[in-house]
Amino acid sequence: MKILTLETTCDETAAAVITGDFKVLASVVASQDNLHQRFHGVVPEIAARAHVERILPVIDETVKKAGITLDELDAIAVANTPGLAGSLLVGLVAAKTLCVALKLPLVAVNHLHAHIYACKLASGEDVFPCIGMIVSGGHSNLYRCNAPSDFEYLGGTIDDAAGEAFDKVASMLGLPYPGGPAVSQAAVNGDRKAYRFPRSFLNDESKLAFSFSGLKTAVRYAITGGATSEFVRPDLSEQQIADLAASFEEAVVDCLVGKALLAVRQSGLSTLCVGGGVAANRRLRERLAVETEKANISLHIAPHELCTDNAVMGAIAIERFRAGLIEDLDLDLIPGLVRQ
């Protein structure tokens, strides 16, 4: 069996061909980072237009790299939720068109579940049931993952996602987009205790929730020296930038590690899977490794290349396909401002 998976939820146009025994025959990711850089964030209209230009060349390149022809495929999978509406639409229309032309079944992928599934793919172990944490530019969610097609939402951010906070803090510090890698790099030479930033809900064991918006404001005030109506960045020394980055990063990491461990404790399970762009963060990986070892939790973090958006993690579609979860061609996109 061979499946073509498409991913266009945000600002990466990606496709992969994966076999029934989870061998990746080809994976192509066309990043749009350079298009969004000067806006310090993803501009939805630009993202959608870039997907339109890239989706067919990306599919062509993927199929060629896999060394197959389209008629050797057994199914088409596409991430239809959550994401930017215009971006999702491009992948969905491409997938449906291929299904009609090739008379193939359509399989839907939840992008967040796929991020967590990347951990299973990489480890090759049966990680289910587990607690899954997805930390990306748009989401910071905790799930009880009973099976590949049975994810139960436990809690998440009540405002910004962790990656969004990294991107905005990078912009405030004058660092490039995407902010996560830049902040993480700047933090290497910083003092994590130089600034005492807030850790929302961390000491409240009754809540599996995150909040990063107050943290963003606290960083802003630390930069400007207090509340100002307009943000004007003063001249910051390299050491000040490093200290701000390190103190901010530590606050995010404390919250993510604290709540992930709380979710595992409350669930009675003993496996934690962590995926999404922010899971590439060096400090988060380090702290998760230490804390899960202490707590005797088996930890699976997606490998770097599967943390940020890609179509390989769409291999979760193989499990759905085998479970008979095939979609009608009127499948809609769900931008997903609601919890899922």
119 interacts with ligand KG4 by CB under 6 A: no
Phi and psi at residue 334, to the nearest 5°: -125, 100
278 interacts with ligand KG4 by CB under 6 A: yes
Q: What is the largest distance, in Å, between two alpha-carbon atoms of the chain?
A: 62
Pick from 5, 13, 27, 184 the residue near ligand KG4 by CB under 6 A.
184
| Burial group, residue 294, by CB count within 10 angstroms (0-12, 13-18, 19+) | exposed
Phi and psi at residue 137, to the nearest 5°: -70, -25
Q: Please give the Cα distance from 202 to 208 (Å, whole number).
A: 9
Binding-site string for ligand KG4 from residue 139 to residue 178, where x marks contact by CB under 6 A and - marks none: ------------------------x--xx----------x
Angle at 210 between CA 191 and CA 164, to 5 degrees: 70
- Which residues are paired to 141 by β-bridges? 134, 156
Q: Which among Zn ion, ligand KG4, none contacts residue 167 (Cβ within 5 to 8 A by kind)? A: ligand KG4
336 interacts with ligand KG4 by CB under 6 A: no
Nearer to ligand KG4, 32 or 281 (CB): 281
82 interacts with ligand KG4 by CB under 6 A: no
136 interacts with Zn ion by CB under 5 A: yes
* Tokens at 148, concatenated: 């590949």
Helix (H) or strand (E) holding 5: strand 2-7
Binding-site string for Zn ion from residue 270 to residue 309, where x marks contact by CB under 5 A and - marks none: ---------------------------------------x
190 interacts with ligand KG4 by CB under 6 A: no
Q: From the centroid of its chain, how far is CA 47?
A: 17
**By CB under 6 A, how many residues form the interface with ligand KG4?**
19
Amino acid at 84: L
Residue numbers of the site for ligand KG4 (CB under 6 A)? 10, 136-138, 163, 166-167, 178-181, 184, 276-278, 280-281, 308-309
Residues that bind Zn ion (CB under 5 A): 136, 309
